[in-house]
Amino acid sequence: MKPVRFFTPENLQIVKRLVSRYPPGRERASLIPLLDLAQRQHGTWIPPSAMHEIANATNLSFEQVHSLVLAYPTSFQWRPCAPQLRICDSWMCCQKAKQRENGIYEAAQSLVSQYGVEVKTTECLGACYGAPAFWFNDKIHTDATKESIKQVISKEFSK
Ligand code: FES
């Protein structure tokens, strides 16, 4: 029986290129971009077939790939039932948010009832240069204020 392929031929080339950036035995270093590629191809989540293919490409077990999907705050093992908002609560973002007393956490919580958005905190989003930062709908937003969070979400719901 022919194995089911998840990645499109174009994305399979990207997978090979990403994995080849690392020496043998270090293929796992390409996991985050591979998971991102899989999630973008599939929409909003990463199906088991993608995790199997990534495991094969990186010489890891399915469980190792799956555990990273579970651990990483912006990757999903099933289709989220509500729009997802992640607020960074690592040191730099917390400090900046506190200094500015900008109320981003309170603003984010108000979106739960207003739009049904699921709000969670997350570790560093890698956007410390623009702290405080948040992630919504596959994009990182920097210099967050309560107004900017509400603006991003309401713009999304007005489409
Ligand atoms: S600490 Fe928030 S993005 Fe790095």
Residue 62 Cα to ligand 1 midpoint, Å, equals: 29
What global pTM score does this model have? 0.77
Nearest-atom index, ligand 1, CA of 140:
3
38-89 tens-digit pLDDT: 999 998 899 999 999 999 999 999 999 999 999 888 889 998 888 899 999 9
Domains in the chain: boundaries: 9-76, 84-157
Give the pLDDT confidence score for residue 37 in this predicted structure. 96
Centre of ligand 1 from the C-alpha of residue 125, in Å = 5
In CATH terms, 84-157 corresponds, of 3.40.30.10, 3.40.50.970, 3.40.50.720, 1.20.140.10, to 3.40.30.10
**Beta strand 118-122 pairing with 84-88:** parallel
Contact 115, 109 (CB under 8 A): no
User: pLDDT (tens digit, 9 = 90+) per residue, 129-150?
Assistant: 999 999 998 899 999 998 899 8
94-128 tens-digit pLDDT: 998 887 777 888 888 888 778 888 888 898 999 99
Cα separation, 76 vs 22, whole angstroms: 25
Sequence ranges of the binding site for [2Fe-2S] cluster: 88, 93, 124, 128
Is residue 113 within 8 A of residue 106, CB to CB? The reply is no
